[in-house]
């Protein structure tokens, strides 16, 4: 089962509901970002007194409020952390430093010193500058949350950087999910393709890749799991991505929705990518082009499977058949199209049945003729 972290933070929430969620065992971590803090600080009355007494620039005031909340979150999660049950609270470096390696390192080290909690995680964007900062901070023993990961390339770079973490430190790779679907759904609908699947399929592909690397203290965290589509259940992405050795960071409305539900691991979702990969690896299929987004279609009957793929490709111009594996050999598109033109299994069985039945049919006709002749001996003369 995945761990569940809250993707929400506000001072009154920490004092009340968050403590209850942690004590119940449902939640064992919390994440934040500048947008979450901005929403909390501007809309909640819990910060009014602090803001009236604090001095400095807006950024300095923001940071004092944010670090105080993160310290409180770390303290609430302290027992979870000591028990080895996650117990991390994340704070993000300034977005302005996304392309500044040195600035990211300096701010991360300053936040670690100011907050002074061993279960603190520093969130760093997965940019080229961020990868370098992650590696340096990992070597210094800082818990890292690599965030804004959308592609396998970013995830692999993050994994490479986080592999430098000491054994007693943790790293997570935050893969964003629902934003893919919200961006692509309109395009997919216009092409008569399924909606709301790209996000979690991409996330599962990254998850399998990171799992294969077997970095003991690095896990995938599924982020951006809130549902904006009215026709989907709030826990849609939870059902798709509740995977072993992973983390689901969920907005508060989703956590409240699943409080009383029995959560099940989404192991069948892994199969869509993992089983295919195992099959390809075991058959030494290095010649298949699996770059970009792929749909893997398999079946016991190569002809029927070829017919299905070819028919779909002919009606969906953006769908391209890349290659196939037929009779333990890699087949090109021409061979797939040739197979698609052959009679299918049902047609062949029908033809074979007709051949088998011909002698029986002729024999039956002969018997009927003989019977008719015996019953009416004068009619056939």
Q: For residues 274, 199, 263 and 210, what is the CA-based torsion angle, rounded to 10 degrees?
A: 40
Give the CATH number of domain 3-272. 3.20.20.70
Q: Kindly list the distances between the CA atom of residue 282 and the CA atoms of 28, 277, 323, in Å, as whole numbers in the listed order.
A: 38, 9, 17
How would you classify residue 176: left for phi > 0, otherwise alpha for psi between -120 and 50, otherwise beta? beta
Read off the pLDDT of residues 124-163 as tens digits, 9 standing for 90 and up.
Answer: 999 999 999 999 999 999 999 999 999 999 999 999 999 9
How would you classify residue 51: left for phi > 0, otherwise alpha for psi between -120 and 50, otherwise beta? alpha
Cα–Cα distance, 305 to 297 (Å, whole number)? 7
Q: Rounded to the nearest 5°, which phi and psi values hold at 92? A: -100, 145
- DSSP-based three-state secondary structure for 191: coil
Q: Please tell me the predicted confidence (pLDDT) of residue 280.
A: 53
Identify the segments of the chain with pLDDT beneath 50: 271, 275, 290-293, 352, 355-356, 360, 380-381
| All structural domains of the chain with their residue ranges | 3-272, 284-340, 344-381
Which residue out of 16, 19, 82, 123 is catalytically annotated?
123
Active site residue 123: yes
Rg (CA), the chain: 30
DSSP string, 106-149: HHHHHHHHHH--TTEEEEEE-SHHHHHHHHHHHHTT--EEEEEE
Q: Show Cβ contacts of residue 11 under 8 Å, excluding neighbours closer than 6 positions.
A: 40, 44, 46, 47, 69, 72
Q: Please tell me the predicted confidence (pLDDT) of residue 193.
A: 72
Q: Please tell me the predicted confidence (pLDDT) of residue 262.
A: 73
Cα–Cα distance, 228 to 195 (Å, whole number)? 13
Cα–Cα distance, 135 to 142 (Å, whole number)? 10
Q: Please tell me the predicted confidence (pLDDT) of residue 188.
A: 78
Q: Please tell me the predicted confidence (pLDDT) of residue 344.
A: 59
- DSSP-based three-state secondary structure for 327: coil
Cα–Cα distance, 2 to 244 (Å, whole number)? 5
Cα–Cα distance, 375 to 77 (Å, whole number)? 98
Q: Using CB atoms within 10 A of its CB, is residue 255 exposed (0-12), middle (13-18) or buried (19+)?
A: buried
Query: Model-level pTM?
Result: 0.73
């Amino acid at each position: 089962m995945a761990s569940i972290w809250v993707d929400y933070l506000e001072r009154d929430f920490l004092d009340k509901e968050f403590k209850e969620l942690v004590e119940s065992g449902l939640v064992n971590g919390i994440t934040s970002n500048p947008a979450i803090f901005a929403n909390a600080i501007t809309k909640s009355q819990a910060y009014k007194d602090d803001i009236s007494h604090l001095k400095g620039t807006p950024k300095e005031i923001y940071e004092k409020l944010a670090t105080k909340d993160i310290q409180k979150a770390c303290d609430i999660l302290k027992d979870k952390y000591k028990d080895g049950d996650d117990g991390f609270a994340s704070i993000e470096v300034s977005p302005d430093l996304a392309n500044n390696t040195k600035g990211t390192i300096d701010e991360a080290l300053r936040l670690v010193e100011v907050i002074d909690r061993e279960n603190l995680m520093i969130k760093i964007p997965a940019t080229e500058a961020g990868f370098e900062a992650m590696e340096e901070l990992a070597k210094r023993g800082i818990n890292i949350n690599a965030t804004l990961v959308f592609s396998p390339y970013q995830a692999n770079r993050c994994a490479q950087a986080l592999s430098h973490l000491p054994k007693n430190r943790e790293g997570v790779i935050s893969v964003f999910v629902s934003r893919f679907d919200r961006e692509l759904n309109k395009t997919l609908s216009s092409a008569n393709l399924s909606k709301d699947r790209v996000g979690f399929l991409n996330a599962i592909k990254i998850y399998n890749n990171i799992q294969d690397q077997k970095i003991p203290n690095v896990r995938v965290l599924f982020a951006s799991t809130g549902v904006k589509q009215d026709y989907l259940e709030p826990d849609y992405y939870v059902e798709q991505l509740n995977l072993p050795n992973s983390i689901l960071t969920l907005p508060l409305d989703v956590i409240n929705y699943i409080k009383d539900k029995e959560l099940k691991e989404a192991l069948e979702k892994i199969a869509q990518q993992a089983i295919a990969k195992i099959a390809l690896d075991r058959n030494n299929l290095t010649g298949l082009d699996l770059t970009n987004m792929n749909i893997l279609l398999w079946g016991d009957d190569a002809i029927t499977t070829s017919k299905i793929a070819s028919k779909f490709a002919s009606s969906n111009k953006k769908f391209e058949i890349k290659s196939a594996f037929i009779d333990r050999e890699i087949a090109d598109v021409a061979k797939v199209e040739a197979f698609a033109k052959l009679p299918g299994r049902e047609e062949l069985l029908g033809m074979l049945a007709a051949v088998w039945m011909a002698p029986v049919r002729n024999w039956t006709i002969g018997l009927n003729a003989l019977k008719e002749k015996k019953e009416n001996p004068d009619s056939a003369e």
